[in-house]
Chain A
Amino acid sequence: MPEFEKIAAFIHEQGAVAIQQLLHCGRYGGIDLGYCVQPSAVPQTLPHFRPPREMTKEEIKQTIKDHAEAAKRAVKAGFDGVEITSFMGYLLANFNSKFTNKRTDEYGGSLENRGRFMKELIYAIKEAIGAAHPLCVRLNGAELMDRYGGNTEEECLELMKMAALAGVDMISVTVGWQESPVSSIARDVPPGHWNYLAARAKKAIPGVPIAFGVRLPDPVLAEQAIAAGEFDFWEVCRPFLADPERLHKIAENRLEEIKPCIGCLLCLSRLFRDLPYLCTVNPVLGHEVEPEYHLKPAAVQKTILIAGGGPAGLECAVTAAQRGHRVTLYEKRDRLGGQLAILADQDLANKEDLKTLLRYYETRLAKLGVAVHLNTELTPKLFRTLSPAPDVAVVAAGATLDLSPWLARAPQELLTDAFSVLAGKAACGQRVVILGGGKVGLVTAESLASQGHAVTILEEGNRLAEDVIPTWKWRHTSWVEELGIKSLTKVKILAVTAAGVRIADQTGAEQFLAADTIIVAAPRRSAAELLFSLEFAVDELYVIGDAVAPRGLYQAIHEGYRLGVRV
């Protein structure tokens, strides 16, 4: 209780209303507990969760009492109200859904019976906390579990009406279950896509305020939706992980300073490995109490040169400049963003998510007075001409594709660099073979297949997308199927000729794949040569991001921040 009192008091001190969410995980509850219960013993579809067992009627009654007691404690701790959650496949959703509720007693069967647990919960909690404390319920507008026999959108709406009649003070409309086989919150769903579910609830249940925020990270879009009468309150979850100062920045009309949530779902990828949340764009998340992560004015103002305008260099520049350093950034290309900018252009998902991040950096650099030199590669020669000499040099030059492992099997003139293709600098024939089925190869394949090329991906490893985070891996593999991209894994690439590629499968059986263009998409190699050239030329020298080792966006941004915050 003392800890909850602290939380409620802190929220009040910041001028906000404190609502305690009560959540019984039900089907998804077997991670830490060692057991998992739900209305009926419907097996899991994701390996992460434990096999469930069916709740007895006594357990149902006890669970309702436990919720009411918990609600009472929440109010006693100082919370203004309580929220219960029937979304994402947690216990309340399990009772409401046809998929997980196969009971034959009064808690199962008809919609009325399936909703009984929810109604009894609402009555019990309302009685426990009294009319002065609001009770909100989060309910699925769509479960996205149709193929498993889940509730239809119409049934979801009926359950909302049932909750309203039972006396809830607000309904939060949500979308999807954790195991839904289609996207709900990832960035392949356009922002605003699900607003219709909230608007429908608003229309059908005019007496109860509707809250909504699923895949709606943009405050401008949210305000427009509220003005249009689609819902009453905008909810924000993951975007707060990306920028906890978001609301203040919105209130102060500093929208350009908001770090955007890019919908990459790294947060959830971590969750599925039983690891604490991290955020790709917010390196401080999870480290808020560690002084090493606190942004403090620099004790000594330094002149910092950053070689490379990819995500690592951009984050480092913004962070160091915020602390008062004089920062200059050199980028050899004609635009900022590095490989991210190139990949973003060809991304089959919502391109704006990644582009918004790049715009955020550009705006911040300009506001913070960072000098940016495009079309300028920071070379040792250029470095020596700078006067006064900088105090710090940061090598953030990223990575390049490494052709060398292929040269024993292929004449160099037959190989095309994937980034040249993605940047539109290299033309491709109709039949394309891509060497490497990681992220670069997949984006290249998807882009070319979308343009009508016949594409084959060859991957010597066991699987495609090994360097892609789990929450996005499935998206690439499904695009591969949808676009008719042929992919061969566990193959050995024997030789590349002007006519195509000769390969061997695991059994040693050889085949020849005819191709007009052969694209190298792996491996990547760090571009850290400058590090060695500058070793005795500058006081402090650092290397960050892919220039350390080719990895992903989150490592680049995190390393950029960790250097910028301490240099």
Chain B
Amino acid sequence: MNLSALLSNPAAWQAALDGEERFFAQIKEGKIGLVGKQTCATPPGEMLVWEVVLGKARAVPARFRGWQAAGVELLLVLEDNFASELQEALAGKSIFAAFKKMIRLGRINLFLLGTRDDLLALGFEDFLEALGVPFLGTCH
């Protein structure tokens, strides 16, 4: 299964999200989008959205039509050949560990489409830190 197919199959994600709901616990409301690098560079294309309300995440399919129209607070841009690792992570219900590692390795790029204040108010601080992104930023 390629990345595009995986992203357009929310059912494959829901069980994994349910198993890792602790990571969403502090989010009051918000959307996290997942797209492939190719789609991100040349929209439109498949996007998977994690819709979170009061700590409960729901995977829903969506279309990515560019950054301005993404309609999400966070956008995770995945390497297109990431599908096999992703399937393993989904099967093992360990997507956060896999995502954190891939962000560190640069195979997932994380973009923030909301302001810091908005993200803080929506409860994204713990979520971002769980992905290994220092919420208040850093400079190396």
Decide whether A and B assemble into one complex: yes
Task: Give me the interface of A with B, judged by CB distance under 8 Å.
Answer: 41-51, 146-148, 176, 178, 180-186, 265, 268-269, 271-273, 462-463, 470-471, 473-474, 477-478, 481, 506
| Chain B residues, Cβ within 8 Å of A185 | 139-140
Q: Do residues B139 and A477 form an inter-chain contact, with CB atoms below 8 A?
A: no
B32 touches A (CB below 8 Å) = no
Distance to closest chain A CB from B132 (angstroms): 6
The reply to whether B109 and A45 form a contact with Cβ atoms under 8 Å apart is yes
Do A470 and B126 touch across chains, with their CB atoms under 8 A apart? Answer: no
CB-contact partner of B134 in A44, A146, A186, A470, under 8 A: A470
**B60 at interface (Cβ–Cβ under 8 A)?**
no
Let me know if A43 and B115 touch, CB within 8 A. no
The answer to whether B140 touches A184 (Cβ under 8 A) is yes
Contact A471 B109 (CB under 8 A): no
Query: Nearest Cβ distance between residue A58 and chain B, in whole angstroms?
Result: 20
Q: List, in ascending order, chain B residues with CB within 8 A of A473's CB.
A: 134, 138
* Structural contact, B140 and A471, CB atoms closer than 8 A: yes
A-B contact pairs, 5 of them (CB 8 A): A42-B67, A45-B110, A48-B116, A462-B126, A474-B138
Closest residue of B by beta carbon distance from A44 = B112
Choose from B68, B115, B129, B139 the contact partner of A272 (Cβ within 8 Å). B139
Q: Which residue of A lies closest to B115 (CB)?
A: A50
CA gap between A185 and B114 in the complex, in Å: 28
Whether B139 lies near A268 (C-beta < 8 A) is yes
B75 proximal to A (CB < 8 A): yes
Question: Could you tell me the distance between the alpha carbons of A481 and B129 in the complex, rounded to whole angstroms?
Answer: 14
Choose from A47, A178, A506 the contact partner of B22 (Cβ within 8 Å): A506
Q: Are A272 and B138 in contact (CB under 8 A)?
A: yes
Complex Cα spacing A269 to B100, Å: 23
- Using an 8 Å CB-CB cutoff, how does the interface string of B93-135 with A read, 1 for contact, 0 for none? 0000000110010110111111110010000001011001111
Contact check, A273 vs B136: say whether CB atoms are below 8 A apart.
yes
* B137 part of interface (Cβ distance < 8 Å): yes
A264 to B75, CA, bound (A): 31
User: Is A47 a contact of B136 with CB atoms below 8 Å?
Assistant: yes
B residues less than 8 Å from A45 (CB atoms): 109-112
Tell me whether B136 and A43 are in contact (CB under 8 A).
no
CB distance from A566 to the nearest CB of B (A): 33
Which listed residue, B75, B100, B119, B126, touches A47 by the CB 8 Å rule?
A: B119
| A51 lies within 8 A of B138 (CB) | no
Q: With A46-B112, A51-B115 known to touch, is A41 a contact of B137 (CB < 8 Å)?
A: no
Known: A41-B68, A42-B111, A470-B134. 19 other contacts (CB 8 A): A43-B67, A43-B111, A43-B112, A44-B112, A46-B112, A47-B119, A47-B128, A48-B116, A48-B137, A147-B106, A148-B109, A181-B104, A184-B140, A265-B139, A269-B138, A273-B136, A470-B136, A470-B138, A481-B101
- Please state if B136 and A272 are interface contacts (CB–CB under 8 Å): yes
Chain A contacts for B75, CB-based, 8 A:
43
Across-interface contacts of A184 in B (CB, < 8 A):
140
Question: Nearest chain-B residue to A182 (Cβ)?
Answer: B140
Instruction: Report the Cα distance A49→B133, complex, angstroms.
Output: 14
Report Cα–Cα, A268/B107, bound state, in Å.
Answer: 27
Determine how close the nearest CB of chain B comes to the CB of A93; give it in whole angstroms: 14
Q: Do B139 and A471 touch (CB < 8 A)?
A: yes
How long is the Cα–Cα vector from A272 to B140 in the complex, in angstroms? Answer: 12
| Residues of chain B with a CB closer than 8 A to A42's CB | 67, 111
Quote the shortest CB–CB distance from A167 to chain B (angstroms).
Answer: 32
Chain B residues, Cβ within 8 Å of A146: 106
